[in-house]
């Protein structure tokens, strides 16, 4: 079975900017794959190349085995893209927009499926409303619906929850998970690391057009297995020999950084030897944000 998306050494330059600098990665069927990176890292450019909205200077991209240039018709039928910008055609109603999108993909009679998507995205009551009259959140749902009209096996969501309220974010996450359960491969770009940690089974981190990390979310978190120890003590000052571990201090609340749980015992022993009593104690495992920051700094 071919990869859902296979990207081979893709390069793309816009004037002086090398937007993509030799990106290679493969996304397998059934994954929820996260594409992370700071602004300008090349996430949207990469998605544009996959979707045929931009052409790579070199390298190749396949969607379910179909080359996005040579076999663009097959490749595009396999792919549903939810664009980042909140775009819409002000001339049409929700239903018209979905029927037109369906027709562009060569599907003539699609009313049943369109009704089902509208139902799943809570758009049924707005079916005959003009696109202009919808709120931002509703327009975002229509964009998701438009990406699904042709039942693509691979769905790409470019920052789907940017500027979206908490409620819609939660319902979009739920919807993405249910699409994934039904067998769709999902590719997600996001600024919200929490979102990636929650949803994605694997993650690629991009920086300046290069892949700087590519692993399962679990491995990424484990490889950066440092942990934080928060301590409130019975006295104001920690002895000098703790300075190496201190990350921050807020009054009598210290945050210490440890390499792993094994170091914890040593710290507690040293405190005991110094006759320092602990009033409050909390251990925090690393989150994706920490991993992200460390990878981004490491690849300066």
Partner 1 sequence: MTSFLTLFYKELLRFWKVAFQTVAAPILTSLMYLLIFAHALEGRVTVYENVGYSAFLVPGLVMMSVLQNAFANSSSSLIQSKVTGNVVFMLLPPISYLEFFSAYVLAAVARGLVVGAGVLAVTVWFVDLPVRAPVWVLAFALLGSAILGAMGLIAGIWADKFDQLAAFQNFVIMPLTFLSGVFYSIHSLPPFWQSLSHLNPFFYMIDGFRYGFFGASDVAPATSLTVVGVSFGVLSLITLAMLRTGYKLRH
Q: How is the beta sheet containing 154-158 ordered, strand by strand? A: 79-82, 154-158, 185-190, 32-36, 202-207, 210-216
Work out how close the CB of 202 gets to partner 1 at its nearest, in angstroms, rounded to a whole number: 25
The bridge status of strand 154-158 relative to strand 185-190 is parallel
Exposure string of 186-223, with b = 16+ CB inside 10 Å and e = fewer, is bbbbbebbebbbebbebbbbbbbbbbbbeeebeebbee
Nearest-CA neighbor of 208 among 12, 55, 7? 12
Nearer to partner 1, 49 or 188 (CB): 49
Is 136 one of the binding residues for partner 1 (CB under 8 A)? Answer: no
Among the listed ranges 66-74, 191-199, 243-251, 289-297, the one in contact with partner 1 (CB under 8 A) is 66-74
Nearer Cβ to partner 1 (48/161): 48
Give, as ranges, the residues between 4 and 63 that touch partner 1 (CB under 8 A).
Answer: 14, 48, 51-55
Mark residues 150-179: x for contact with partner 1 by CB under 8 A, - for none. Answer: x-----------------------------
CA 233, 238, 239, 245 dihedral sign is positive
**Nearest C-alpha neighbor of 232 from the set 286, 285, 282:** 282
Contact between 76 and partner 1 per CB under 8 A: yes
Q: How far is the CB of 95 from partner 1 (least distance, A)?
A: 13
Quick note: the x/- pattern for partner 1 over 80-119, rule CB under 8 A, is -x-x-x-xxxxxx---xx--xxxxxxxxx-----------
d(CA 130, CA 96): 9
- Residues of this chain that interact with partner 1 (CB under 8 A) are 14, 48, 51-55, 72-74, 76-77, 79, 81, 83, 85, 87-92, 96-97, 100-108, 146, 150
């Amino acid at each position: 079975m071919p990869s859902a998306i296979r990207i081979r050494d893709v390069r793309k330059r816009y004037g002086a900017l090398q937007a993509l600098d030799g990106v290679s990665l493969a996304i397998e069927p059934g994954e929820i794959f996260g594409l992370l990176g700071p602004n300008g890292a090349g996430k949207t450019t990469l998605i544009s190349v996959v979707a045929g909205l931009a052409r790579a200077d070199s390298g190749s991209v396949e969607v379910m085995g179909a080359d996005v240039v040579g076999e663009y018709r097959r490749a595009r039928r396999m792919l549903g893209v939810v664009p980042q910008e909140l775009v819409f055609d002000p001339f049409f109603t929700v239903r018209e927009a979905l029927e037109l999108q369906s027709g562009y993909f060569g599907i003539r009679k699609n009313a049943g499926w369109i009704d089902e998507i509208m139902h799943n995205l809570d758009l049924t009551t707005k079916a005959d409303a003009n696109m202009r009259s919808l709120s931002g959140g509703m327009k975002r749902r229509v964009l998701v619906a438009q990406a699904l009209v042709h039942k693509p096996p691979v769905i790409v969501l470019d920052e789907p929850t940017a500027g979206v309220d908490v409620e819609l974010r939660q319902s979009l996450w739920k919807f993405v998970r249910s699409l994934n359960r039904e067998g769709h491969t999902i590719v997600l770009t996001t600024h919200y690391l929490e979102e990636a940690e929650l949803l994605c089974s694997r993650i690629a981190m991009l920086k300046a057009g290069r892949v700087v990390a590519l692993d399962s979310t679990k491995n990424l978190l484990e490889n950066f297995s440092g942990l934080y120890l928060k301590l409130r003590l019975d006295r104001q000052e920690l002895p000098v020999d703790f300075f190496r571990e201190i990350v921050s201090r807020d009054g009598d609340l210290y945050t210490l950084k440890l390499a792993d749980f094994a170091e914890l015992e040593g710290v507690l022993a040293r405190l005991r030897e110094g006759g320092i009593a602990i009033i409050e104690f909390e251990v925090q495992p690393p989150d994706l944000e920490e991993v992200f920051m460390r990878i981004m700094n490491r690849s300066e």
